[in-house]
Structure 1
Amino acid sequence: MTYIELGKKVLEQAGKPLSVKEIFEKACEMGLDKECNDGKILSHSLGSQLGEHNIKEEDKQFYVARKERGAFFYWLKSREREFPPQETSNAEDDEQSECSGTAKKQETSFNERDLHPLLVKFLYENPDFNLQCKTIYHEKCLKDKKGKCEWNYPDIVGVYFPYNKYSPFDKYDGEILKFLHHTGQKKHKLFSFELKVNLKLTNLKESYFQAVSNSTWANEGYLVVKSIDKKDEKDVLDELRRLNQSFGIGVIKLESEISNSKILLPAREREINIPTLNMLVEQSPVDFKPFMEEINKQIGKGLDTPIEMKSFDKVLDDEEMQKHIKDKGIQAE
């Protein structure tokens, strides 16, 4: 997805002119950042593209509907009658200044993909999960008719092996492990995770039902959030509890200090949906299919022969994690 396509998609749903910052934030809330520029939106580049400075007037798709305190609010030329443009002066110079300031802010910001290593480490080490995980790159998945594949792919998928390093069953004799496995009392499980940087009332429903939609194949599905808007926190948590009771998607609060991360609401376990699982393997041959292939290889090897999961995400050690957090500017709340 290009910045132009991203801007159009956001404004088509917005219903009013938005600034570059608002378009940037809304795109992240909608998950469009995963489909643009390898999963990273550069807000200063977005502003430059929306300005369309090197495009003929008749070919432009956006215009400045109004200007407030140095910020330009863009709207679609195809719907210009709804918000006639106001007179502006030195628009291009002012916009370049705005984009420059936004670029400085962006240097210390982070996006959802920057949080993946934190979640992978938490899920690997937390005794409630003990998972090995893999990022699914949406931009590598096969494309279909518009809307058909929307909300199909989770951000991260995970697998639980009942005999991994952190499992409480690891201390048991091999025969006991086999018994538990054969009787189904301790089984392999598949997990789905949808990750959001910030959760507030305005994006809660969309975020939650995105997690519902892209986890229908898994034993357990979770919505993972880095921060919850302080002014809405009580209302957000109340609504999450209500939705959890109805739909069973769990909620994880991810912290920069990974050991402080916690499960706010547990997921409801269910049977794997085979048709949806098959669809994901077919539509994601680069990421999801290798995920399933390596799971099957490990299961085939048995309890005592762990294999190297080459396509899975690396679990960073503590030193590597601290460097990642610092490099990406991931701040504690």
Structure 2
Amino acid sequence: MTFLELAERTLKEENKPLTSIEIWNIATKKGYDKQLNSQGKTPWATLGAQIYVSAKDDLKSVFGKTDSRPKKFYLKSMASQINLEDNSIPEDIVQTKEKKFDYLEKDLHKYLTYFAYYHLKCYTKTIKHNISNKKEFGEWVHPDMVGCYFRMDDWKKEVYDFSSSIGVRGTVMYSFEIKRELSFSNLRESFFQCVSNSSWANESYLVAARISENEDFSDELSRLSTSFGIGVIELNIEDPDSSEILIPAKHKKDLDFETINKLAMNSDFKEFLETVKIDMTSKKIHKKEYDFIESLEKLKIK
């Protein structure tokens, strides 16, 4: 059974418009998921993407989609038999709203530090906002975390020395804005906060532990990321090594030194710059000056 066959069968049996998550939940209860030839980690996301693309782009598709938010899907052949203006709250949305966070935003820093170190080869430093003068520079001043990747970790000494002699920068600077979740309720504010305080870096990322799988939301997130070059990282606090870059950041060759100069009013950021400079000059990374990297075993203990 293919994903679209699973969706068609489920919609026919339920005889009403359903969101992609509702289709998946119902199909799973009926055991249809066991008939899929799929080994992906997020089959529900694959299902939603395939139905959405089919309904949106394929004129011969058996699927139709409502204009509601979140999107609901139905079979065109049954359109006259069902209520396409059903405004009831989908089951998956109720579950999401009732689910409370058992962690704070600051609790996510150690997970990002772990991911950045092992998957980006990046040393991070947390920036404390309470020591910045927000009255002088506005509400959105600093990113939550900054980071640096040193090419000398990967390059031979002779290659690194040669690159420095011809003016090729031996680092990649990162900027991270962290949120507990990303959904339509906070997307624009979170995104433009990231744009506001992260544009100075080579690569900037918006990071969250819970990201909406709504198709419209994903489309808007992708559009904004493409327009401004901001990447998106989803943290997995249950299995930190399964955290992933959902959307890669656009790499910028040049740093914005005017903004860096403004950010240097924060002592944490100033210390970060000084540490990076010392490490590049000495060709030795002083790990103790960056955020402590927790072991995987400790991260999994809540």
TM-score by length of 1: 0.57
Q: Is 2:280 the counterpart of 1:306?
A: no
Q: Give the number of equivalent residue pairs.
A: 202
TM-fit CA distance, 1:149:
2.4
Please say if residues 201 and 235 of structure 1, whose CA atoms lie closer than 8 Å, have aligned partners that are also in contact.
no
Paired residue secondary structure (2:300)? helix
Say if 2:225 and 2:247, in contact at 8 Å, map to a contact too.
Answer: yes
Q: Which residue is equivalent to 1:273?
A: 256
Out of 144, 147, 152, the position equivalent to 1:155 is: 144
In structure 2, how many angstroms separate the alpha carbons of the residues matched to 1:244 and 1:185? Answer: 27
- Shift, 1:180, TM fit: 3.8
- SS in structure 1 opposite 2:173? strand
Q: Which runs of 5+ in 2 are unaligned?
A: 1-98
Shift of 1:130: 0.8
For residues 225 and 167 of structure 2, the distance between their equivalents in structure 1, rounded to whole angstroms, comes to 26
RMSD (Å), alpha carbons = 2.0
Separation in 2, partners of 1:178, 1:294: 19
Does residue 133 of structure 1 match 2:124? yes
Return the offset for 1:319: 2.2
Q: Separation in 1 of the partners of 2:233 and 2:109?
A: 13
Shift of 1:162: 0.7
- Note if 1:115 corresponds to 2:108: yes
Deviations 1:71-121 (A, max 9, x none): xxxxxxxxxxxxxxxxxxxxxxxxxxxxxxxxxx98x72111001000000
Q: Which residue of 2 aligns with 1:52?
A: none
Contact 1:251/1:267 (8 A) holds in 2: yes
- Residues 294, 309 of structure 1: 8 Å contact kept: no
Quick check: 2:152–2:170 contact (8 Å CA) kept in 1? no
**Per the alignment, in what secondary structure is the counterpart of residue 151 of structure 2?**
coil
Q: Which SS does the other structure have where 1:202 is aligned? A: coil
1:225-251 deviation per Cα after TM superposition (whole angstroms, max 9, x unaligned):
111234xx2222111111112110111
Structure 1 CA distance, aligned partners of 2:228 and 2:276? 27
With over 3 angstroms needed to count, the CA separation of the structure-2 counterparts of 1:272 and 1:309, relative to structure 1, is farther
Distance (Å, rounded) in 1 between the aligned partners of 2:150 and 2:114: 16
CA distance in 2, matches of 1:308, 1:207: 30
Deviations 1:145-185 (A, max 9, x none): 4xx32111101100111123xx4x4xxx3212323444456
Alpha-carbon separation, structure 2, partners of 1:182 and 1:268: 26
Q: Secondary structure at the match of 1:201?
A: coil
Structure 2 residue aligned with 1:57: none
Q: CA deviation at 1:313?
A: 0.9
Instruction: Give runs of aligned pairs for residues 168-179 of structure 1, distance below 5 A.
Output: 169=155, 173-179=156-162
Among 273, 276, 280, the alignment partner of 1:295 is 276
Residue of structure 1 in register with 2:198 after alignment: 215
Match among 296, 299, 302 for residue 321 of structure 1 = 299
String of CA shifts for 1:240-266, please: whole Å, max 9, x gaps: 111112110111111121111111111
Find the aligned partners of 2:262 and 2:163 in 1 and give their Cα distance.
30
Deviating runs (4+, > 2 A) in structure 1?
A: 142-145, 176-187, 305-310
SS, match of residue 222 in structure 1: strand
SS for the counterpart of 1:236 is: helix
